[in-house]
Amino acid sequence: MIMHFSWSLALYLALKTLKETGYGHVYKSVEKPLQLAQSAAVLEEQILHSLVGKSSILHESGQIPNNSNAATDSWQTVYYLGDLMEFSWANYQQTQTHILVSTLVFSWSITEVVRYSFFGTKEALGFAPSWLLWLRYSTFFLLHPIGVTSEIGLIYIALPDIKESEKYSIKMPNKWNFSFYFFYAAIFTIGIFSIGMNMDYSFLHVSGSFHSIMATSLEIVSAEVEFLAV
């Protein structure tokens, strides 16, 4: 419920701001809903699902392969680390006003609103209408690469500022005898996001989800054509 509300509000505010003042002000208008959505996502994935014994909603939606092996567990950990880094660009003014923020917000908010509508309907009724199933995966196939590409672009644009500011970096010497450079972590994240997007689609193809959803799409379109022809 919180996730659906947060992403719906983000979508509404983004559309409103884009119309009234332009893309340069989109981030400021959606900052709070995005923070709420991200916080709720971490709570859902890391705490609630662990307590009730359910898998992450990312597994259920096919965005992370749900296989209990070491390789998959490693990639799941990488995805969680990516979740913590994906809005790192938001700390810098240069990226906050970039047009890629708009493409990111629109792609993710539309995808998430549809996704949580699908899961909410399925939980409430015990099933989801075929058109909602079609919409859920059709929007994912179209908007997921746009969202990931926007994130990669924003992190790349922020790299000079990240390097210069040294924000979130830990230098030696220190009492932990540990160093961390956020600049290199950001570069690593760009690579992981690129690989992860390809893994998502590869998994859907291997699992047969792609073919089943496309078949459902054709059935729905055919039914609509027959209805209009009557």
Q: What integer is the mean pLDDT of 24-40?
A: 87
- Per residue in 74-110, pLDDT (tens digit) is 334 344 444 545 566 677 888 899 999 999 999 999 9
What is d(CA 92, CA 55) in angstroms, rounded to the nearest whole number?
A: 34
How many domains does one find in the chain? Answer: 1
- Give the C-alpha separation, 117 to 128, whole Å: 9
pLDDT averaged over every residue in the chain? 76
Domain that includes residue 17, residue range: 2-229
DSSP codes, 217-228: HHHHHHHHHHHH
Distance CA 164, CA 219 (A): 54
Mention every residue, 6+ apart, whose C-beta is less than 8 A from residue 31. Answer: 90
Rounded-to-integer distance, Cα 11 and Cα 8, Å: 5
The single-letter code of the amino acid at 216 is T
| pLDDT given for residue 216 in this prediction | 54
What does the alpha-carbon distance between residue 37 and residue 7 come to, in Å, rounded to a whole number? 7
Copy the structure tokens of residue 72. 């998959």
pLDDT of 46: 60
> What is the predicted pLDDT for the residue at 77?
39
pLDDT band at 149 (very low <50, low <70, confident <90, very high): very high
Q: What local confidence, expressed as pLDDT, does residue 69 receive?
A: 41
User: In DSSP terms, which residues pair with 170 in a beta bridge?
Assistant: 180
- Residue 3 confidence class, pLDDT cut points 50, 70, 90: confident
The number of helix segments (H) and strand segments (E) in the chain equals 10, 0
pLDDT of the residue at 35: 82
200, pLDDT greater than 80: no
d(CA 58, CA 144) in angstroms, rounded, equals: 13
Phi first, then psi, for residue 177 (nearest 5°) are 55, 50
**Taking a C-beta distance cutoff of 8 angstroms, is the pair 139, 111 a contact?**
yes
Mean pLDDT in residue range 216-221 = 52
The answer on pLDDT for 147 being more than 70 is yes
Report the alpha-carbon distance of residue 80 to residue 61 in Å, rounded: 16
Residue 196 or 75, more confident: 196
Cα–Cα nearest to 220, from 137, 112, 124, 105:
137
Whether residue 50 has pLDDT greater than 50:
yes
d(Cα 37, Cα 113) in Å, to the nearest integer? 11
